[in-house]
Chain A
Amino acid sequence: MFTLLLSGWSGIGLYRVYHLLRKKRLLFDDHFTLVICMSITMLASFLFSMYTILLFPDLYAASLLLGIWIGWKFGALLRTPAQLTGLYNGAMGGAMGTMFGAVLQNPALCRIPVESAAAVDLYSIPFVAACFYSCVLLSIRHSLRL
């Protein structure tokens, strides 16, 4: 339930930034396009593939494909050379998020000692990641105004 709320929050933020970038996509230079594409694609695909693994523990391939799809959409939004960056970073973030979600669900994969395996809960790290992600989205919206 908590994961569902977090994913809804992140999804709404991502959708609003997508529309904002779509409205203003003719204003960017190359450097800005590269940075925006890299940072937002990596974080968003990481977070959403982690949520997918936490919600549906069996869909490994689907979460990886979700990361690649996010990268593809953002790259296609901005410019053609940015599409390569977006695709690469989306695949990277998707693979990392899948791994992280699997470790959070089953801490014995990572040989965390048994006494502290109860201390690894499913909620605190995704919550911190979602807070950081919304801070990055805010700073991207701020950097559009500079």
Chain B
Amino acid sequence: MKEITLAYLLAIDLLLYSILFVYVFRRKKLIGIQLGMNISQVMGGVAALLAGIVFILLFPFHFTLITIISAAIGVAAGAAFGLLFDYQTCLAGLTNGFIVGLMAPMLGSVLDMPGQLIWFIHGLFLFCILFIVISIQRS
């Protein structure tokens, strides 16, 4: 039951990511260079954090492989959001996603009660999405 819940959460995250990507893609002419850099860094970091913690709880016996995969996911998310704006923005998002992706499986395997942290991180993710949407509409 637990694994099924985690898999559903991953699917919901992927869906939210694609919705936000399409939203940012349609408004990328309105977004300045500073906000673009913040969006790319935040999205790369949060993607790596979610992927690392959820994958290490799903498959606790493959630490090395999970670390590499979550770093790759962070790099891909940071680069995808950064390439909407600028080359340098892409570089910043890529680096941040890589560092957070190397750290996240370590955090996930230390956890005692993983349920609370998973809900906390998903709350953080929704909060970040809300802030990004508000700041895009204000700019």
Contact A119 B91 (CB under 8 A): no
- Per-position binary interface string of chain A over residues 19-55, scored 1 when its CB falls under 8 Å from any chain B CB and 0 otherwise: 0000000000001100110110011001000000000
> Using a Cβ–Cβ cut-off of 8 Å, how many residues does chain B contribute to the interface with A?
26
If A43-B98, A125-B68 touch, whether A35 touches B91 (CB-CB below 8 Å) is yes
Main secondary structure of the interface of A (DSSP, over half): helix
Contact B109 A42 (CB under 8 A): no
Interface size class on chain A is 20 to 34
Contact B63 A35 (CB under 8 A): no
Question: Bound state CA distance, A119 and B60, in angstroms?
Answer: 12
The answer, yes or no, to whether A80 is at the interface (CB within 8 Å) is no
Cross-interface CB contact of A116 among B63, B96, B98, B103, cutoff 8 Å: B63
B94 to chain A, nearest CB (A): 7
Question: Bound state CA distance, A124 and B94, in angstroms?
Answer: 20
Cross-interface CB contact of A39 among B61, B71, B92, cutoff 8 Å: B92
Q: Which of A91-146 contact B (CB under 8 A)?
A: 93, 96, 99-100, 103, 107, 110-113, 115-116, 119-121, 124-125, 128-129, 132, 136, 139-140, 143, 146
Top 10 closest pairs, chain A to chain B, by CB: A39-B95, A116-B61, A35-B88, A35-B92, A110-B109, A120-B63, A39-B91, A112-B63, A128-B68, A124-B64
* Residues of chain A at the chain B interface (Cβ within 8 Å): 31-32, 35-36, 38-39, 42-43, 46, 93, 96, 99-100, 103, 107, 110-113, 115-116, 119-121, 124-125, 128-129, 132, 136, 139-140, 143, 146
* Residues of chain B at the chain A interface (Cβ within 8 Å): 33, 37, 60-64, 67-68, 71, 75, 87-89, 91-92, 94-96, 98-99, 102-103, 106, 109-110
